[in-house]
Amino acid sequence: MSTRVILLPLFVEVALTFGLLLWLAVLRITSLRRGIVKAPQIALREPNWPKRTLQISNSVSNQFELPMLFYVLTILQIITHHADIVSLVLAWIFVIARLAHAYEHTTSNVVERRGPLYGIGLTALFVAWVIFAVRILLGLP
């Protein structure tokens, strides 16, 4: 399997993260320029941003939690030549769940919908890690 194919889900996840970061930057700059928030009110990371900005900020922060395990796994799979169709399908399930989770997180933010989307991604990533670990520890191809 080509490295390009293996890295595509990772690139989509990275694009999601950068897209959210850009959105957050626009919201923050706009709030500061319009005087909705003053710099001293947020200088020490106080949660004084408008609610919408905090919502996007929380989604950005979420992109630096569970996805880190996805990035590490993808890199390890490439290095050890253990990336296959199963890992690719699980990677896409994870990334699609992350996209859906971020959409829910940044729109209606209904926890009862957001939670299961997070759970789908978590489960796919967990299964991928278990498969990878078993293959490595047992010396399987």
User: pLDDT truncated to tens, each residue of the chain (141 aa)?
Assistant: 899 999 999 999 999 999 999 999 999 999 999 999 999 999 988 889 999 999 999 999 999 999 999 999 999 999 999 999 999 999 999 999 999 999 999 999 999 999 999 999 999 999 999 999 999 999 998
Three-class secondary structure of residue 93 per DSSP: helix
Domain boundaries, the chain: 3-20+50-138
* pTM > 0.85: yes or no: yes
Question: Taking a C-beta distance cutoff of 8 angstroms, is the pair 129, 69 a contact?
Answer: yes
Rounded Cα gap, residues 69 and 86, in angstroms: 17
Distance CA 1, CA 5 (A): 7
